[in-house]
With several copies, the nearest count.
Chain A
C-alpha cells in the first residue's frame, strides 16, 4: 500500500498548495496525449525537462484532467498513467526522505527521457512539414506504361480461393469505433467514480481508501479514485484523515 500512502501525501500537499488562481491557467483544448500536454505546460513555463520542472507542473497537469468536462477521452488511461508518475515525482520533490523503489526511480527517469525524446520528434516533425510542403518533389513513372497487357492468370486461383482470400480480408477490417468504446469501458471515468463514491457513502459513513481500490485495481483505477476523492474534498463532500504515516486513508462524509 506504499503507493497509496504516497498518493495521500500528495493529496495533502496538493490541497495545501492549490489556490483558485492556479486552477484554470491551462487553456482547455484538445491535447492528443499526455506527453503533448506535459510539453505544452513545460514550454509555457519556459522550463527544461527535469524532475523539478515536472514536479512544478504536476498540479497544472492534474487540474487539466480534473477540469476536463469530457473526461471520457479515448486515451484517459494514457493520461492517468502519466498522472501517477507525476504524483510520484512531486512526492519525491517535496519529501526528499521519501524512499522510492528502484522500479519507481526508473519510472521517473523514463518519463523524463520519454519527454525529451518526444520533444525532439515534435520539433523535427515541423521541419518535415516544411520540406514536405515545399515545391521540390520528385515524380516517378507508372510501372510498365508502354507495355501492352498480356494475359497471365495466377496458377491455382479460382472462385473458391478468391472467396477464401476475400473472407480473410473482411476478418481483418479493423472496427475503430468499437475499439474506442472498449477502451473507455475498461477505465472507470472520474465522474463515474465520484458518483460511485457518493453512492457508497450514502450507505456508510466512513470508507478506507484501501477498500476502494482493492478489487482488481490497476494503477489507473487507483489514480481515478484518488482524483475522485480529491474532487470530493474540494467540493466539501468528504474529509480525509490518516492516523499515522503508513496507515490507511479514511474519508468521511461531511454531514
Chain B
C-alpha cells in the first residue's frame, strides 16, 4: 500500500476512534507491518507540526491518540464553556425528563418515546454531569442511562422515586405501547 494511503487511513481511524490505539492494532486493521505504521505516524506528526494544523498525535508508549493542537486550547475551551453555559434546549430537557422517569433506560427506548434520534443530546447531558451511563446486560452494544446522583441532590430529593407522581408517570401505558410498537416493526 502507498504511504499516502496509509497515512490517510491512520488519520481516519484516529479521528473516528477518539481513544488511544496501539501501533499493533493499527497494523492489524490496515493489514500492513507495524514498522510501516510507525513510519507513517512519524510523518504525520511532522506534517501537523510544520503545517500548524488543528490537531496533533501524542504517543504514549506503544499507543497513540489524536488530540487538538494545544496552541488553540483557548478556543476549544471557549466552545466547551459556551456549550455548558447555554440554556438547555427543549430537546435536552425532554431527554432528561425521560431518563428521570424511565431510568435505567436505553437510547432506543428514549428515541421511541420522543420519536426523534437522541444520540447527541445524550452525550451533552453526560458532559453536563446530569446523567450517567452503564452497560446494558441485555445488549452489548448499548448503554442504559440514569440520572446522576449530583442532579438528584440538586433537585432537593433523596431518591429518584421522590419525583412528583413517580409511580403513575413512570408506568404510563402510552410509553409501553410505543416501545412495543417499535419492537414489532
| A residues neighboring B (CB under 8 Å) | 32-36, 74-75, 78, 82, 109, 113-114, 117-118, 120-122, 124-129, 131-132, 134-147, 149-155, 157-163, 165-167, 169-170, 173-177, 183
Contacts and interface: CB of A to CB of B under 8 A. Distances in A.
A34 B117 CA distance: 11
Interface string B138-177: 0000000000111111111100001111000100111101
26 contacts: A78-B116, A113-B174, A114-B115, A117-B174, A120-B169, A125-B93, A128-B164, A129-B88, A137-B70, A137-B153, A141-B16, A141-B18, A144-B16, A144-B83, A149-B128, A151-B150, A152-B85, A153-B154, A154-B87, A158-B156, A159-B162, A159-B164, A162-B100, A169-B97, A173-B113, A183-B117
A127 B164 contact: yes
Interface of B is mostly: helix
B130 interface: yes
Contacts of B88: 129, 132, 154, 157
B154 A132 contact: yes
B38 interface: no
Contacts of A154: 87-88, 92-93, 96, 130
B18 A140 contact: yes
A175 B174 contact: yes
B129 A149 contact: yes
B96 A128 contact: yes
Given A136-B156, A140-B65, A158-B155, A163 B165 contact: yes
A101 B137 CA distance: 35
Which of A35, A143, A153, A175 lies at the interface centre, i.e. has the most chain B CB atoms within 10 A of its CB? Answer: A143
Contacts of A169: 94, 97-98, 113-114
B80 A144 contact: yes
A126 B90 CA distance: 8
A138 B97 contact: no
A143 B98 contact: no
Given A173-B175, A175-B174, A140 B97 contact: no
Contacts of B66: 140-141
A138 B164 contact: no
Interface of B: 12, 15-19, 56, 58, 65-71, 73-74, 76, 80, 83-85, 87-88, 90-94, 96-98, 100-101, 112-117, 119-120, 123-124, 126-130, 148-157, 162-165, 169, 172-175, 177-178, 181
B169 A170 contact: yes
Contact of A124 (B19, B149, B169): B169
Contacts of B73: 135-139
Contact of B127 (A78, A113, A114, A147): A147
Contact of B91 (A32, A138, A149): A32
Contacts of A75: 116-117
A189 B15 CA distance: 58
Nearest to B119: A174
Contacts of A183: 117
Nearest to A122: B94
A134 B165 contact: no
The 3 closest A-B pairs by CB, nearest first: A33-B116, A136-B156, A138-B67
A117 B178 CA distance: 13
Given A144-B80, A163-B164, A118 B114 contact: yes
B115 to A, nearest CB: 4
A33 B120 CA distance: 14
Nearest to B128: A152
Given A136-B73, A138-B69, A157-B155, 9 more contacts: A35-B115, A124-B164, A132-B88, A138-B68, A146-B67, A152-B84, A162-B100, A163-B164, A165-B96
Contacts of A177: 181
A35 to B, nearest CB: 4
A176 B120 contact: yes
B155 A159 contact: yes
